[in-house]
Chains A and B, each alone.
Chain A
Amino acid sequence: MLFRKLMGATAFAALLASSAQAEIANGRIRIGVLTDLSGGYEQNSGTGSVEAARMAAEEFGGKINGATIEILAGDHQNKPDVGVSVANRWFDVDKVDAVTDLVNSAVGFAVLDVAKAKNKTVLLTSAGSADFTGKACAPDNSVHWVYDTYQMGKGIGLAVPQLGKKWFFISADYAFGAALEGAVSGAVKAAGGEVVGSVKAPLGSTDFSSFVLQAQASKADVVAMNNGGDDAINSVKAAREFGLTAQGMKIAALGMDSLPAIKSASLEIAQDGMYVTPWHPGISPEAQAFMDKFIARKKTAPSTFQVGTYSAVLNYLKAVQATNTTDPKTVIAQMRKTPIKDAFTNAGTLREDGRMVHDVYLVQIKKPSESKGEWDLLKVVKDIPGDQAFRPLSDGACPALKK
């Protein structure tokens, strides 16, 4: 009898072992970093994200349970159909297990759709639409790691006591700008503030003087520069030239939100601007150490998205190691069970709708006189707990969870 039980147990164990071994197919784990390597998002994602993913792989010595980790890099050229073609080829021909970065939400949605059909993992680190954990959510296939539009709006709203009550928006005239303005103004009103005016500036404007003058005439406490890239630099510059900050108005630079972006705008221009960021190097010694390592390799500080890519890949690989499989559902379930503590966050948790919830920070850009080093650019005004910043699960935005 005992013998029989033993036999059964051995057979069962052997079965488990063999099935587990079969899971990491081809003896390798392939992660594709699909990003913009040649266009406008290169600075915040691009080659820096590829490097960050490599740094995460190196922490495992390039191998997990005998399987080699390979990092691939792809340039979607900001064309969703190129992104989809590359992702399809990666999944079908190159047997890629997970795709990460995906800056540009249009590419993100398209690739997520492919990954769902082919049962692969998507680690969204640079795409921002809140719909990734909303109507397009895929809890068994994707995680949304760094930020989303809901959190950006909410975070700013929570900063109303620090910033001021009367707001004026200078928004870039495109859908992301409109969505963000909606989210921020909703949050501002909820926090007891009011929106005294808003103006839409065409994308790629170089002359912001008329918009800034309208902002000045509005007698607002806060002027929100709801734009990115060169537009952010030009609009903040114009606000400085017209003396808005000298009059005591505060600038919320929603788009000038990464260390490299501030650096390229220069502290002279960007100083005193406030924004909400999911990460800054002051959160922990680990974060600082990661930044130093990154600077040594890339000669520039990492952007928030790049640290996020590092963190997502790192935690994905940890879960692959623990479960010895690359099956998306199993790996993501493991990621949900494990609290996240690394260079990106001190206490993060992956929620069942795919949202990684972590603290965010209201920061202010330092004056040139306050900065002690090349990358000493920020001071923290306020910590915002993750459960206040992100959309609560009880909102039920993810239809896939209702089944």
Chain B
Amino acid sequence: MKDARASFDPVTLAAIAAAAVLLVGAPFVFYPLFLTKVLCYALFACAFNLLLGSCGLLSFGHAAYFGTAAYVAGHAAKVWGLPFEACLALGVMASAALGAVFGYISIRRQGIYFAMITLALAQMIYFLALQLPFTGAEDGLTAIPRGKVLGLFSLDDPLVLYFTTLCLFVGALMLIHRITHSTFGQILRAIRDNEPRAISLGFEANRFKLQAFVLSAALVGLAGANKAIAFKLATLTDVHWSTSGSVILMTLLGGLGTLLGPFVGALVVVTLENYLADSGLPIQAVIGGIFILCILLFRRGIVGEAQGWVETLRRRRAG
């Protein structure tokens, strides 16, 4: 294994610089609100990947944390009239707390049992959202005011909204990078690769898994809260199991365990959902077809395959 805290090599630095230019320049070329949506879902997928990629835990209920944060942040903004930052913080706290409870219950099992328990718990949240009065059930929570960032800039300006979301996204991404490349991240990978051995080395596997679970839920909550404010709505779709499925799809499509994979996956899925909407094509079938192709032809996902090619090229040049 490489040194976990390895400094960036020139190629990676160049890639990061290029990405920065693209992300800053994008809203002047593409529609900013659409890009904001991509970033929200990208953060959702990256946070999900923190659990699946680093820790090997396939949660099938991440929509619960996404939706809970969306409802809480939306309610805080609309009914309590709290400022943007406070709404985000409340959303994150709510989903982290939920993650702690659900994580505590579910990490006791592995594999498919773990996935099913997370799904069952998430369905409970779905039915709560359906029945609780403040969520508006099928009508959803709409007309959430966006407010101002830092009390200065109105988020109703699409560019302000985009750059605020971008800052949150980049901050969260750096945090995820820091987590996966820390000693903590190494222990998570050790648990993923061989849990009994990690335990035999003296690590309390369940404690680390729970921490990863809560971190993941909290970051998913950030994405959900941000989405609720950006799109001024929180609805049952956010807590529906198909959203949990869709984030798995994004992660696998982009590249499991890579830093940028979930971002690329989210970009692909959200773009298809949006731009195919007025094409007359059956969207779900198209996305399904792409997923099948991905499984058959490039199983490491888009970014995973690309990284593989770069590695091969480097090795050839070196050899």
Residues in chain A near residue B137, CB distance under 8 A: 174-175
A residues in contact with B233, CB < 8 Å = 80-81, 84, 109-110, 113
User: Among the interface residues B31, B233, B277, which one has the most CB atoms of the partner chain A within 10 A?
Assistant: B277
Q: Does B231 contact A (CB under 8 A)?
A: yes
Min Cβ gap A205→B in Å is 16
Choose, from B92-100, B251-259, B279-287, B300-308, the stretch at the interface: B279-287
Interface string of A3-40 (1 = CB under 8 A from B): 00000000000000000000000000000100001100
Q: Cβ of A110 and Cβ of B283 under 8 Å apart?
A: no
Q: Bound state CA distance, A36 and B243, in angstroms? A: 18
> How many chain B residues touch the partner (CB < 8 A)?
30
Contact across chains for B31 and A93 when beta carbons are under 8 A apart = yes
Known: A79-B237, A174-B130. Contact between A110 and B37, CB under 8 A?
A: no
Residues of chain B lying within 8 A (CB to CB) of residue A109: 139-140, 142-143, 233
The yes or no answer to A74 lying at the interface (CB within 8 A) is yes
B156 at the binding interface (Cβ < 8 Å): yes
Chain B residue, CB-CB nearest to A86: B277
User: Do B31 and A80 touch across chains, with their CB atoms under 8 A apart?
Assistant: no
A291 to B278, CA, bound (A): 26
B233-287 interface (Cβ within 8 A of A): 233, 235-238, 273-274, 276-278, 280, 282-284
Please report the C-alpha to C-alpha distance between residue A174 and residue B137 in the assembled complex, in whole angstroms.
8
Return chain A residues, CB-CB under 8 Å to B277.
74-77, 82, 86
Among candidates B31, B37, B231, B278, residue contacting A73 with C-beta atoms closer than 8 Å: B278
Contact of A81 among B37, B278, B282, B284 (CB under 8 A): B37
Does A341 count as interface, using CB distance less than 8 angstroms? no
Q: Is the CB of B237 within 8 A of A81?
A: yes
A106 contacts B278, C-beta separation under 8 Å: no
C-alpha spacing A8/B31, complex, angstroms = 45
Which B residues from 121 to 150 make CB contacts under 8 A with A?
Answer: 130, 137-140, 142-143
**Known: A106-B142, A110-B140, A175-B137. Is A81-B231 also a contact (CB below 8 A)?**
yes
A388 to chain B, nearest CB (A): 26
Q: Of residues 29 to 72 in B, which have CB atoms within 8 Å of A's CB atoms?
A: 31, 33-34, 37
A77 (CB) vs chain B CBs: closest residue = B283
| A81 partner residues in chain B, CB cutoff 8 A | 37, 227, 231, 233, 235, 237-238
Report the separation of the CA atoms of residues A38 and B37 in the bound assembly, to the nearest whole angstrom.
22
Q: Which residues of A contact B238 (CB under 8 A)?
A: 81
- The residues of B that contact A92 with a CB separation of less than 8 Å are 31, 33, 158
Which residues of chain B have C-beta atoms less than 8 A from A129's C-beta? Answer: 139
Q: Which A residues, 44 to 101, have Cβ-Cβ distances below 8 Å to chain B?
A: 72-82, 84-86, 88-89, 92-93
| Residue pair B37, A85 in contact (C-beta under 8 Å) | yes
B232 at the interface (CB under 8 A from A): yes
Tell me the nearest residue of chain B to A88, going by C-beta.
Answer: B33
What string of 1s and 0s marks CB contacts (under 8 Å) between A161-176 and chain B? 0000000000000111
Residues in A whose Cβ lies below 8 Å from that of B37? 81, 85
Interface residues of A in 93-135 (CB under 8 A from B): 93, 105-106, 109-110, 113-114, 117, 129, 131
Q: Is A136 an interface residue (CB 8 A)?
A: yes
A89 to chain B: which residues have CB within 8 Å?
31, 33-34, 274
Which B residue's beta carbon lies closest to that of A93? B31
Alpha-carbon separation in the docked complex, A112 to B116 (Å)? 38
Contact B138 A175 (CB under 8 A): yes
Most B CB contacts (10 A, CB to CB) among A32, A37, A76, A79 go to A79
The 8 Å CB contact of B231, one of A38, A78, A85, A174, is A85
User: A136's contact among B143, B276, B282, by CB below 8 Å, is which?
Assistant: B143
Q: Known A85-B34, A86-B274; judge A175-B227 contact (CB<8 A).
A: no
CA distance A113 to B33 in the complex (A): 15
Q: Which residue of A lies closest to B140 (CB)?
A: A106
Residues of B within 8 A of A176 (CB): 138
Min C-beta distance of B77 to chain A, whole Å: 13
Q: How close is B249's CB to chain A, nearest CB, in angstroms? A: 14
Give the chain A neighbours of B31 by CB distance below 8 A.
88-89, 92-93
Least distance between A190 CB and chain B CB atoms (Å): 25
On chain B, the residues within 8 Å of A106 by CB distance are: 138-140, 142, 235-236
B284 near A38 with CB under 8 A, answer yes
- Which A residues are CB-close (under 8 A) to B231? 81, 84-85, 110
In the complex, the chain B residue whose C-beta lies closest to that of A72 is B278
Least CB distance, B40 to chain A, in whole angstroms: 9
CB-nearest residue of chain A to B232:
A113
- The one of A75, A114, A117, A136 in contact with B283, judged by C-beta atoms closer than 8 angstroms, is A75
**A37 to B286, alpha carbons, bound, how many Å?**
14
A397 to chain B, nearest CB (A): 16
Once the chains are docked, how many angstroms separate the CA of A82 from the CA of B237?
10
State A163–B200 Cα separation when bound (angstroms). 74
What distance in Å separates the Cβ of A139 from its nearest Cβ neighbour in chain B?
16
Instruction: Report Cα–Cα, A74/B39, bound state, in Å.
Output: 23
Nearest chain B CB to A342's CB is how many angstroms away? 27
Residues of B within 8 A of A (CB): 31, 33-34, 37, 130, 137-140, 142-143, 156, 158, 227, 231-233, 235-238, 273-274, 276-278, 280, 282-284
Can you list 23 contacts pairing A with B, beta carbon distance less than 8 Å?
A: A32-B278, A38-B282, A38-B283, A74-B277, A74-B278, A75-B278, A81-B37, A81-B233, A81-B235, A81-B237, A84-B231, A85-B33, A89-B33, A105-B139, A106-B138, A106-B139, A106-B142, A109-B140, A109-B143, A110-B140, A110-B231, A113-B233, A174-B130
The 7 A-B residue pairs with the shortest CB-CB distance, nearest first, are A175-B137, A106-B140, A109-B142, A74-B278, A80-B235, A113-B143, A79-B237
For the complex with contacts A75-B277, A85-B274, A110-B232, 13 further pairs of A-B residues with Cβ separation under 8 Å are A32-B278, A75-B283, A80-B140, A80-B142, A84-B232, A86-B277, A92-B158, A106-B139, A109-B140, A110-B231, A110-B233, A174-B137, A176-B138
